[in-house]
């Protein structure tokens, strides 16, 4: 792994790849998740990638990117656990594909967007801040239209009440409305000064200009990085806590959270990864093959793991009259895994599928960048992780399943049609 420290708290990970027609530079800022700051920090990647001092008009910037063969510079903010990852991602057709000094031009633009924002009197331009605030508020308001995503955000809000993790990744509507040019500017400088930064470059070669440009820019900032990526685990609840909501929906959404006391190192993550996959991952999983296909209880029913926050989530789309049966059917599958009452073949299928996905990650610069930026604090290569996956035993999977207990459920159902 070719990782170099280029400034205090700034690492550059270079992944050599000459198979792609594109090159990618992804700049990731990691900061603690704080309720009073998450809205500002979430807005930062939006405003930084929409304009700059040299391109104060967002359509002019869009047009410039278009003229560079649709070079993309996009921003996003995530809350993977009790920290925020702010990402500025840049992908463009490679020098070898289109030539004409495109790499240098895009790098210059990326640098301009991150380090030379559109300020007015020392703070972000008021008009631009208001525009980006409005767009984020509209997104929050429209969130209800995607019932599956809405149901997931509702259970997070319920299970992590009081914690920043329970909020939408954008921050609440009220918090977004309260952002001012000054508070956004403060958040910007705080990000530059105190975030841990991981830059992932996927290209045929690491040019001196990439290394030097970022090294120089960060070295000129008085940086004090204190960030430690620790997260509070979901607390188990006995009996489980339940929240029901009614709306005009024809298909009910049912979400369950299972808490675990496990501390996940890479080895434990691999075991939990296989457990989650055979529970509700691929088409061979028990939730798909039994709850959906045999019992016909759900249209979709899938599980996902958040090892950092110590929980596994199952979300499903269910006919309202089948909610109780679906609940029981899902728990039965978990019990089957705990007691080892499943075919050994499922584990083999799962290992092949998961390792295949890891190998495939090497075929996409976005997947490569996503893989490493998600594991920034315990870097491991896809091959090393695949080895861990292949060594998982059935006994370990059963033991892992035993460490998860139902803690919260959430139901969004129709006003009249449910049980």
Partner 1 sequence: MNNASKFLDSVLKRIDHPSGLTVYLYKMPGFASNYAIFGTRYGSIDNRFRFGEKIIEVPGGIAHFLEHKMFECADGDAFEKFARYGAYSNAYTSFDRTCYLFSCTDFFYENLQNLLNFVSVPYFTEDTVKKEQGIIGQEITMYDDMPSWVVFINLLKCLYKDHPVNIDIPGTIESIAQITPKLLYDCHKTFYTPANMFLCVCGDFDEDKVVDIIDVEIKGDNAPLPVSIFEKESRSAYKQSFGAVMQVPKPLFAFGFKENPKLSCREIAAKDIAVKLISGECSPLYKTLLEEKLIDGSFSGAFSFGRGFAFTSFEGNSDNPQAVADAVLGEIERIKTDGVDISLFEDIKKGYVGEILKDFDNGEDVAAFICDCACKGFNPAKYIEEIENLTGKDVKDAIDSFFKDAFAISTVTAK
Least distance (Å) from partner 1 to the CB of residue 360? 4
347-350 LR contacts (CB < 8 Å, sep 24+):
347/274, 347/278, 347/392, 347/394, 347/397, 349/282, 349/284, 350/274, 350/277, 350/278, 350/281, 350/282, 350/284, 350/285
Least distance (Å) from partner 1 to the CB of residue 296? 5
Phi-psi region of 242 (alpha: psi -120 to 50; beta: other; left: phi over 0): beta
Least distance (Å) from partner 1 to the CB of residue 214? 24
Looking at the Cβ atoms of 232 and 244, the one nearer to partner 1 is 244
Least distance (Å) from partner 1 to the CB of residue 362? 6
Least distance (Å) from partner 1 to the CB of residue 80? 23
Asked whether the beta carbons of 89 and 370 are under 8 A apart, the reply is no
- Tokens 């028990």, residue located: 286
Residues at the contact surface with partner 1, assessed by CB under 8 A: 19-22, 57-59, 62-63, 65-71, 91, 93, 97-99, 131, 134-135, 138-139, 141-147, 247-251, 282-284, 292, 296, 298-299, 317-319, 345, 349, 352-353, 355-357, 359-360, 362-365
Nearest Cα neighbor of 107 from 4, 187, 23, 6 is: 23
Could you give phi then psi for residue 216, rounded to 5 degrees? -65, -45
Q: Where are the alpha helices (DSSP H) in 17-57?
A: 38-48
Looking at the Cβ atoms of 189 and 299, the one nearer to partner 1 is 299
Looking at the Cβ atoms of 114 and 298, the one nearer to partner 1 is 298
Looking at the Cβ atoms of 356 and 378, the one nearer to partner 1 is 356
Looking at the Cβ atoms of 8 and 99, the one nearer to partner 1 is 99
Asked whether the beta carbons of 296 and 288 are under 8 A apart, the reply is no
Least distance (Å) from partner 1 to the CB of residue 196? 29
Looking at the Cβ atoms of 71 and 397, the one nearer to partner 1 is 71
């Amino acid at each position: 792994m070719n990782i170099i420290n280029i400034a205090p708290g700034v690492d550059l990970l270079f992944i050599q790849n000459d198979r792609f027609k594109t090159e990618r530079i992804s700049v990731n800022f990691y900061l603690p998740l704080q309720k009073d700051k998450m809205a500002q920090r979430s807005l930062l990647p939006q405003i930084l990638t929409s304009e700059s001092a040299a391109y104060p008009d967002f359509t002019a910037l869009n047009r410039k990117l278009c003229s560079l063969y649709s070079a993309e510079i996009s921003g996003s903010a995530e809350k993977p656990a009790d920290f925020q990852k702010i990402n500025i991602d840049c992908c463009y057709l490679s020098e070898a594909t289109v030539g004409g000094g495109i790499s240098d031009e895009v790098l210059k633009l990326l640098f301009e967007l991150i380090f030379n924002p559109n300020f007015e009197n020392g703070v972000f331009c008021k008009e631009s801040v208001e525009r980006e605030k409005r767009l984020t508020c509209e997104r929050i308001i429209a969130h209800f239209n995607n019932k599956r995503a809405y149901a997931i955000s509702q259970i997070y809000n319920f299970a992590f009440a009081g914690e920043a993790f329970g909020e939408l990744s954008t921050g609440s509507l009220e918090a977004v409305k309260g952002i001012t040019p000054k508070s956004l500017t403060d958040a910007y400088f705080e990000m530059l000064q105190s975030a841990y930064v991981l830059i992932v470059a996927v290209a045929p070669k690491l040019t001196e200009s990439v290394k030097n440009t970022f090294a120089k820019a960060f070295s000129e900032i008085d940086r004090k990085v204190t960030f430690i990526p620790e997260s509070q685990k979901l607390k188990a609840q006995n009996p489980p806590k339940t929240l029901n909501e009614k709306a005009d929906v024809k298909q009910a959404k049912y979400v369950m959270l299972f808490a675990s006391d496990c501390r996940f190192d890479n080895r434990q993550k691999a075991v939990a990864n296989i457990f989650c996959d055979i529970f509700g991952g691929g088409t061979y999983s028990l939730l798909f093959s039994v709850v959906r296909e045999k019992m016909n209880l759900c249209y979709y029913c899938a599980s996902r793991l958040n090892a950092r926050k110590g929980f596994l989530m199952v979300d499903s789309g269910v006919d309202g009259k089948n909610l109780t049966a679906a609940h029981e059917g899902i728990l039965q599958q978990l019990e089957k895994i705990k007691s080892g009452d499943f075919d050994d073949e499922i584990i083999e299928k799962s290992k092949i599928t998961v390792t295949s996905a890891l190998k495939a990650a090497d075929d996409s610069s976005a997947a490569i960048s996503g893989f490493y930026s998600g594991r920034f604090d315990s870097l491991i290569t896809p091959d090393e992780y695949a080895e861990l996956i292949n060594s998982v035993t059935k006994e370990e999977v059963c033991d892992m399943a035993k460490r998860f207990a139902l803690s919260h459920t959430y139901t969004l159902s129709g006003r009249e049609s449910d049980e």
